[in-house]
Homo-oligomer: A and B are copies of this chain.
Amino acid sequence: MLNNVYIIGAGETKFGELWDKSLRNLAVEAGLKAIENAGIYSRDIDAIYGANGLAGTINEQENIGALIADFSGLSMEGIPALRVEASTASGAAAVREAYLSIKSGEYDLVVVGGVEKMTDIHGSGILEKMSSILDREWEAFFGATPAAMAALIARKYMNDFNVEKEALSMFSVNDHLNASKNPDAQYRNKLTVEQAMDSIPVADPLNMMDCSPVSDGAAAIVLASENFVKKNKKEGVKILSSAVAEDYLSVGSRESIYTLKSTRLAAEKAFKKAGIKRDDISFMEVHDSFSIYGLLELEDLGFAEKGKAKNLVYDDIKLNGRLPVNPSGGLKAKGDPYGAVGIGQVVDAYKQLMEKAGERQIKDARYALLHNMAGTGASSVVHILGE
């Protein structure tokens, strides 16, 4: 039975503060780019999977699947559409659902689109909304924000493993350097380690340059069954594996606050299914909503011992390093539109693996690992893509 799943097209909007575009404009722009890139007819599309984190609370709009189907002109055909929500991991969770739907034999051609419009709220109002990704009753109710939780984790991690603040800053420096070569990125300025370390405090020890921004943006991909790819002679990137795992929602319930157990479990499953080793990975995109998570993820994905990621952040993770991380610019510099992030990672990895990443192109890129995480690590989704 031919049931491999391929990415045959990808597109995204610029990420940033996009005052002149609405939620629906963004979703449709990305979707149409992906469809055009795939060179398919919209009448052949079997289903739409939408990903979104916060439109209910920010934009007072639920029913996002139907919204996207409607404004992309696809509801005329009655095409199935729904939304997947797994907080900040909604994007990759939607990719996984679409992947399973093709594997089930039910669909041959599926569009997966993620969108977030976060600047529709004034000033600090967004913080309250963003905190809905935490445990409302045990964390957010007491005033904790995502940054505050990340700061708690960072403080204990730095103390227990003797990690200097500079190591965290280096993660952001790498993101900005890569984003300077990505036309879709929100911030394209290069950042020195001094600038990163001297930026204004957000939640000590994290400062502004440790925190991903508030972003608008959308990203979309087209997934196809092996049958469709063969029949239509399409080129594509194969999804070698897709895995997801959960941890406790509130950080205080976890065995170790600086161990992302969901990331560990998802990575283990993903490597087992893909049948490749960590050494085979050409590059990674990881969910660095805060720089501390970048370091923890290098460890919990299995690329460094706990407490040792600091050894990778100066050279190894660079675009021309041993293990390039976030060639797209990552959440810090490419941007962090919640529901679009996990799909934006796929868009970028697709370009790399198709050797169409321009200035950012990694030589001989064969296997990519993509990591998208919900909140402080309650869920992690890992995809491994290959040839």
The interface stretch among A59-67, A208-216, A308-316 is A59-67
Is A78 interfacial (CB-CB < 8 Å)?
yes
Checking B60, B67, B82, B253 against A249 with a beta-carbon cut-off of 8 angstroms, the contacting residue is B67
CB neighbours (8 Å) of A80 from chain B are: 244-246, 379
- Do A56 and B57 contact each other (CB < 8 Å), given the known contacts A67-B249, A106-B100? yes
Is A361 interfacial (CB-CB < 8 Å)?
no
CB neighbours (8 Å) of A22 from chain B are: 137
* Of listed A64, A134, A136, A265, residue having the most chain B CB within 10 A: A136
The interface stretch among A84-92, A162-170, A184-192, A325-333 is A84-92
Pair B70/A378 contact, Cβ less than 8 Å: yes
CB neighbours (8 Å) of A246 from chain B are: 65-66, 69-70, 74-75, 78-81
Give Cα distance in the complex from A262 to B245, angstroms. Answer: 34
Is A115 interfacial (CB-CB < 8 Å)?
no
* Of listed A101, A253, A375, A379, residue having the most chain B CB within 10 A: A379
Q: Mark A1-21, 1 if CB is under 8 A from B, else 0.
A: 101000000000000000000
CB neighbours (8 Å) of A374 from chain B are: 63, 66
A interface bracket (residues with beta carbon within 8 Å of B): 35 or more
How many whole Å from A342's CB to the nearest CB in chain B? 12
Pair A247/B78 contact, Cβ less than 8 Å: yes
CB neighbours (8 Å) of A140 from chain B are: 60
Is A234 interfacial (CB-CB < 8 Å)?
no
Give the nearest-CB partner of A243 in chain B.
B80
Pair B104/A379 contact, Cβ less than 8 Å: no
Is A135 interfacial (CB-CB < 8 Å)?
yes
Give Cα distance in the complex from A135 to B54, angstroms. Answer: 16
Give Cα distance in the complex from A63 to B244, angstroms. Answer: 14
Checking B66, B104, B378 against A104 with a beta-carbon cut-off of 8 angstroms, the contacting residue is B104
Give Cα distance in the complex from A346 to B86, angstroms. Answer: 24
Pair A65/B86 contact, Cβ less than 8 Å: yes
CB neighbours (8 Å) of A247 from chain B are: 66, 75, 78
Give the nearest-CB partner of A92 in chain B.
B82
Is A337 interfacial (CB-CB < 8 Å)?
no
Checking B63, B104, B265 against A101 with a beta-carbon cut-off of 8 angstroms, the contacting residue is B104
Give Cα distance in the complex from A83 to B56, angstroms. Answer: 14
Give Cα distance in the complex from A63 to B245, angstroms. Answer: 13
How many whole Å from A82's CB to the nearest CB in chain B? 4
CB neighbours (8 Å) of A105 from chain B are: 103-104
Is A206 interfacial (CB-CB < 8 Å)?
no
Pair B100/A104 contact, Cβ less than 8 Å: yes
- By a beta-carbon cutoff of 8 Å, the part of chain A in contact with chain B is 1, 3, 22, 24, 53-54, 56-57, 59-67, 69-70, 74-75, 78-87, 93, 97, 100-101, 103-106, 128, 131-137, 140, 244-250, 253, 261-262, 265-266, 374-375, 378-379
Q: Could you give 8 example pairs across A and B, Cβ below 8 Å?
A: A59-B136, A75-B246, A78-B247, A81-B244, A81-B246, A84-B84, A97-B97, A97-B101
